[in-house]
Amino acid sequence: MLLGAHVSISGAIHLAVDRAVELGCTTFQIFTRNPRGWTYTKLKQQDVDEFNRKFENAGFKVAMAHMPYLPNIASPKKLIYDKSVKSLTAELERCGLLGVELLVVHIGSHLGAGIGKGVELVANAVNQALEKVDNKVLVLLENMAGQKNSCGSKFQDIAQILSRIERQSRVGVCLDTCHLLAAGYDIRSKEAVEATLKEFDRVVGLDRLKAVHLNDSKGGLGSGLDRHEHIGMGSIGVQGFKAFINHPAIRDKPMVIETPEDEKGNYMTDLKKLRTLYAA
């Protein structure tokens, strides 16, 4: 089971590997830099070497990075869009240095310009970044939660974006369970999971699915609310997660939690729960 958590890079980026090991992860996710700003410092070669050494020694086969919060590759505002494309390009380069071959990207918001314009901008951004950075890193489009003006909340939007990518072998999808439910895709039972993944296969293609974010949802079905909850404590529930992680299309994919850490639980408790739900 490729199961892990989004771990901190505080102190030094290679310390993320240590934190993943402490949690018993078999995969993990990081930000390669401060996610709340535009500026960043160049990765130091000694930190890159130490990250690679620890990664290999711990036996990890796959990990993913997540784009920072500020970029919006669907933005019709030129200044933000240009900065966002530059940020995506830089993240591809950084992931390549670290040997992290999956880069998860929020598809973003068209800010009222319309879904057609948003789809066009996202595809152009990914094409520009992939043209500039020739490495093995895949850009994974993450489904959105149905927020107002969001691109990529619906499978049809994701399919449209993917169809416009020139380097097809370097793009895929990361499905977030909280976002699925919030956007109106039911995954609360075995039958619902089967129906939703069948629809994803019909519209997008399960061959495009490369990674998963496992988060329960504070909001209900179709709420449009991107609020993560502990595994089994939200609207998806224990049976939903049991069905989802054991589905043949999901069970061999890298799965990462981004759940809260509060009085109700933490990464350790959520990972433990998921392991008990996973059928050997």
Question: Could you tell me where the DSSP H helices lie in 58-132?
Answer: 78-98, 115-132
Contacts 24+ apart (CB under 8 A), 127-131: 127/164, 127/165, 127/166, 127/167, 128/85, 128/89, 129/85, 129/88, 129/89, 129/92, 130/92, 130/165, 130/166, 130/167, 130/170, 130/171, 131/166, 131/167
- Residue 55 has a pLDDT of 98
Secondary structure of residue 63 in the 3-state scheme: coil
- Residue 260 has a pLDDT of 97
Q: Model-level pTM?
A: 0.97
Domains and CATH numbers, the chain: 3-277 (3.20.20.150)
- Residue 23 has a pLDDT of 98
Q: How many CA atoms lie within 13 A of 8 on its CB side?
A: 5
**Residues classed as catalytic:** 36, 66, 69, 106, 142, 176, 179, 213, 226, 228, 258
Task: Tell me the three-class secondary structure of 148-164, residue by residue.
Answer: CCECCCCHHHHHHHHHC
- Residue 76 has a pLDDT of 98
Neighbour tally for 147: CB within 10 Å: 14
| 228-229 and 216-217 beta bridge pairing | antiparallel
Given a contact cutoff of 8 angstroms between Cβ atoms, the answer to whether 29 and 6 are in contact is yes
- Residue 52 has a pLDDT of 98
- Residue 139 has a pLDDT of 98
Question: What residues in the chain have per-residue pLDDT under 50?
Answer: none
Cα separation, 251 vs 229, whole angstroms:
21
CA 186 to chain centre: 19
